[in-house]
């Protein structure tokens, strides 16, 4: 429906959510594998509980960028810091999917279309 090159995703780690964007649609599967590896789970069965809870396409790439930045800014205290203390794109488990989606919906200037829901790309991707 929309023609943005970028996609906005809400990634579910099995415990909490993480927001991010991919700059090329074809790389969504690659990003999933990267995120999954980043979880460093010893048991491969966990892969079944990990998914892209939502993936959106937008009217323009800028809308994806702005929305991601605004959602991150909306949860400054609920984001997990990295080793150096910088806030990452990962939320703690107090942030629900509904809260993230409400924040995305509040970005009235950003026109989105839901592309996938509970999406798990194949391992080959």
Partner 1 sequence: MSTPFNPVVSGNPNFTVANNPFDPNSEINTEEGIYRSLVDLAKESVHFNNIDSKTLARLREKYRAEVEEGSAYTMEQLPRYKLKVKTPAQRKAVFPAQKRMILDFKQALNTPLFVNVDSKGNYNVMEGQQHGTSDSALGDPNDMVNCIVFRNMPDWFEEWFFLEFNCESRTQISDYDRIRLAILMERKCPTGIDEYEMYSEKQELFEEYGFRYLDERETDTPCGVSHSSIWVVPFSTLKEMFKFIGSDDELKQDPTRQITWGFWQCAQEYGYLYNENVIQAWRDLVVDMTGQQYVKDELTAMFRESGRNWSATRGPKMLMGLLKKRGCKDIDMSRICNDNATLVAEIEECIQYSEKAQQYV
**H or E stretch covering 114:** strand 112-119
User: Side by side, which strands form the sheet with 87-91?
Assistant: 79-81, 87-91, 17-22, 7-12, 51-58, 112-119
Nearest to partner 1 of 47, 59 (CB atom): 59
DSSP letter (8 states) at residue 13: -
**Residue of the chain from 4, 68, 79, 91 that contacts partner 1 (CB under 8 A):** 4
Residue 74 binds partner 1, judged by CB under 8 A = no
Nearest to partner 1 of 50, 58 (CB atom): 58
Residue 109 binds partner 1, judged by CB under 8 A = yes
Nearest to partner 1 of 94, 113 (CB atom): 113
32-61 positions binding partner 1, by CB under 8 A: 59-61
**Residue of the chain from 47, 66, 78, 116 that contacts partner 1 (CB under 8 A):** 66
The residues binding partner 1 (CB under 8 A) are: 3-5, 59-63, 66-67, 107, 109-110
């Amino acid at each position: 429906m929309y023609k943005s090159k970028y996609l906005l995703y809400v990634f579910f780690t099995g415990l909490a959510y993480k927001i991010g964007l991919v700059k090329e649609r074809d790389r969504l599967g690659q990003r999933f594998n990267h995120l999954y590896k980043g979880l460093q789970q010893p048991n491969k069965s966990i892969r079944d509980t990990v998914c892209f809870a939502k993936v959106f396409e937008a009217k323009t790439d800028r809308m994806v960028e702005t929305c991601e930045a605004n959602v991150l800014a909306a949860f400054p205290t609920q984001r997990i810091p990295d080793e150096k203390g910088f806030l990452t794109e990962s939320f703690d488990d107090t942030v629900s999917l509904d809260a993230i989606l409400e924040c995305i919906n509040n970005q009235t200037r950003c026109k989105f279309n839901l592309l996938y829901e509970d999406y798990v790309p194949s391992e080959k991707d």
